[in-house]
């Protein structure tokens, strides 16, 4: 019996190049949190480089746990793990509340360790939520994942620094558009392996095109060391403060919710639906990776949704490809010069490729919704309201400004709020009191209206 495509081992060259493509897709997301937190602390350039390398190294370890797995740990799906962006706000809040900034990272690391261990213990219970994720819920969440990521691509397309004079310039947007066109042309007019690595080739082409415009900076390569190891507890032994622990435990719950949704999405895409056992194993990998990460000076780890788009687009479903990407991440953590090669890719070029990647995730969600029975008014309402709730943080970022900071950790995540809304609405409309009502098939979420200004109500469709 042939192996499932998820368990397929590709030729070495194809494995390496497609694995590198996954690294390119998620690199910016991994390095952004340490750069933001490090800047808030006021780390030196050397320490900031060290912190970034440590996060790359621990992302590789977490990806190994997720893809290869040990015992009951790891979803064994083509799932990339890295530093979760959900922790940035509470971590910077911890920095702000710490008088001695040299204690900030040890306090953060201590909170991450505790949150990770508690999450690991909770995984078998948390995974049982899978029965509350039918296609109407998973399709909505997958669509929200794609929609939520698209603003990231649009931000990249404008440039790396919103304060810079060329942010959003015609040059930056042109580079993004040029990269997008290259990817589309490769996908349209090539076949086989070249077609599958179209995003990677698009990134290379976009970087080369950017050179004459002065948008490609090779300085990171020239300044980077060849070898460097993330020395355990480089910034000091972890410290355990209750407020910080509670804050990052909330982040862990958000992270586990998003990871569950991501696993369900990826399971649909690779044709190996994620059941309770798979989700529990995946959550164990997330949480154990997070608990181990501070040992090597890294932050909380979680699934990276942008790589789901890459799997959907390339149709390469092998988990060993993503494991190869994890290997590259580990090497980058050990070799700062290698890590700096990805940093050479201009942000607008990443933005152009991101439009394809993140849009593919949303398209996958729409494909799932097609199978969700949208001819039923209940399901249409579930999708409509859940999408609206999930899009709030994107279209109105200050909508929850009056809420406490801890609550905003959850509310400002459109994926989490949309997911919760979809699950609750599905329970209300499709489960509670189901025997007492019929779910009529209609083509619109609303029933025909009552009489208006003497006009009789339209008869119901036969």
How large a percentage of the chain has pLDDT more than 70? Answer: 87
Print the domain residue range for 30: 5-432
The answer to the question of residue 289 being in a domain is yes
pLDDT classification of 460: cutoffs 50, 70, 90: very low
Checking if the pLDDT of 1 tops 60, the result is no
The answer to the question of residue 138 being in a domain is yes
Specify which of 218-227, 270-279, 339-348 reaches the highest per-range mean pLDDT.
270-279
Domain count, the chain: 1
Euclidean distance between CA atoms 195 and 185, whole angstroms: 9
What pLDDT is attached to residue 441? 45
Identify the helix (H) or strand (E) that includes residue 295.
none
What pLDDT is attached to residue 253? 79
The answer to the question of residue 116 being in a domain is yes
pLDDT in tens, 409-458: 667 777 778 888 888 999 898 877 665 554 444 444 444 333 334 444 44
Lowest mean pLDDT among 24-33, 157-166, 244-253: 24-33
Q: In the predicted model, what is the mean pLDDT of residues 235-263?
A: 82
Mean pLDDT value across the chain: 81
pTM summary value: 0.67
Burial class (CB in 10 A: 0-12, 13-18, 19+), 171: middle
Q: In the predicted model, what is the mean pLDDT of residues 262-278?
A: 84
pLDDT classification of 406: cutoffs 50, 70, 90: low
What pLDDT is attached to residue 450? 39
pLDDT classification of 346: cutoffs 50, 70, 90: confident
Q: Is residue 281 within 8 Å of residue 72, measured between CB atoms?
A: yes
Checking if the pLDDT of 385 tops 90, the result is yes
Checking if the pLDDT of 303 tops 70, the result is yes
Q: Is residue 409 within 8 Å of residue 254, measured between CB atoms?
A: yes
Euclidean distance between CA atoms 257 and 126, whole angstroms: 9
- Which among 90, 88, 84 is positioned nearest to 37, based on CA atoms? 88
Checking if the pLDDT of 130 tops 90, the result is no
The answer to the question of residue 455 being in a domain is no
The answer to the question of residue 439 being in a domain is no
The answer to the question of residue 162 being in a domain is yes
What pLDDT is attached to residue 109? 93
The answer to the question of residue 444 being in a domain is no
What pLDDT is attached to residue 89? 67
The answer to the question of residue 442 being in a domain is no
pLDDT classification of 2: cutoffs 50, 70, 90: low
């Amino acid at each position: 019996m042939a192996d499932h495509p998820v368990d397929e081992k590709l030729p070495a060259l194809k494995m390496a190049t497609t694995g590198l493509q996954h690294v390119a897709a998620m690199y910016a997301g991994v390095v952004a949190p340490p750069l933001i937190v490090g800047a808030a602390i006021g780390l030196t350039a050397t320490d900031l480089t060290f912190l970034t390398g440590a996060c790359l190294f621990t992302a590789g370890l977490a990806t190994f746990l997720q893809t290869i797995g040990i015992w009951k740990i790891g979803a064994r799906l083509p799932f990339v793990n890295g530093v979760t962006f959900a922790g940035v706000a509470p971590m910077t809040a911890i920095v702000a509340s710490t008088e001695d900034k040299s204690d900030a990272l040890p306090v953060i690391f201590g909170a991450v360790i505790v949150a990770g261990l508690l999450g690991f213990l909770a995984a078998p219970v948390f995974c049982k939520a899978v029965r509350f994720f039918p296609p109407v819920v998973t399709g909505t969440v997958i669509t929200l994942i794609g929609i939520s990521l698209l603003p990231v691509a649009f931000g990249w397309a404008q440039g790396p620094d919103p304060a810079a004079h060329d942010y959003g310039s015609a040059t930056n947007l042109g580079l993004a558009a040029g990269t997008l066109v290259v990817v589309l042309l490769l996908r349209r007019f090539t076949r086989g392996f070249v077609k599958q690595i179209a995003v990677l080739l698009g990134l290379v082409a976009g970087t080369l095109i950017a050179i004459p415009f002065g948008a490609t900076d090779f300085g990171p390569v020239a300044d980077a060391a060849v070898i460097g190891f993330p020395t355990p507890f480089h910034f000091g032994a972890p410290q355990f403060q209750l407020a910080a622990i509670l804050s990052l435990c909330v982040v862990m719950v958000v992270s586990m919710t998003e990871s569950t949704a991501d696993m369900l999405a990826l399971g649909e895409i690779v044709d190996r639906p994620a059941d309770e056992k798979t989700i529990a194993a995946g959550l164990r990998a997330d949480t154990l990776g997070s608990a181990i990460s501070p040992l090597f000076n890294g932050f909380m780890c979680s699934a990276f949704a942008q790589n789901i788009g890459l799997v959907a687009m390339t149709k390469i479903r092998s988990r060993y490809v993503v494991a190869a990407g994890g290997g590259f991440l580990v090497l980058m953590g050990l070799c700062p010069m290698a890590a700096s090669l990805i940093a050479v890719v201009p942000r607008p070029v990443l933005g152009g490729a991101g439009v394809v990647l993140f849009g593919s995730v949303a398209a996958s969600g729409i494909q799932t919704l097609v199978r969700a029975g949208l001819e039923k008014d209940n399901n249409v309402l579930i999708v409509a309201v859940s999408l609206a709730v999930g899009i709030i943080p994107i279209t109105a970022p200050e909508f929850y400004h009056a809420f406490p900071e801890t609550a905003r950790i959850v509310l400002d995540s459109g994926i989490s709020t949309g997911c919760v809304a979809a699950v609750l609405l599905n329970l209300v409309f499709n489960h509670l009191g189901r025997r007492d009502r019929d779910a009529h098939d209609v083509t619109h979420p609303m029933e025909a209206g009552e009489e208006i200004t003497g006009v009789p109500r339209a008869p119901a469709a036969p």
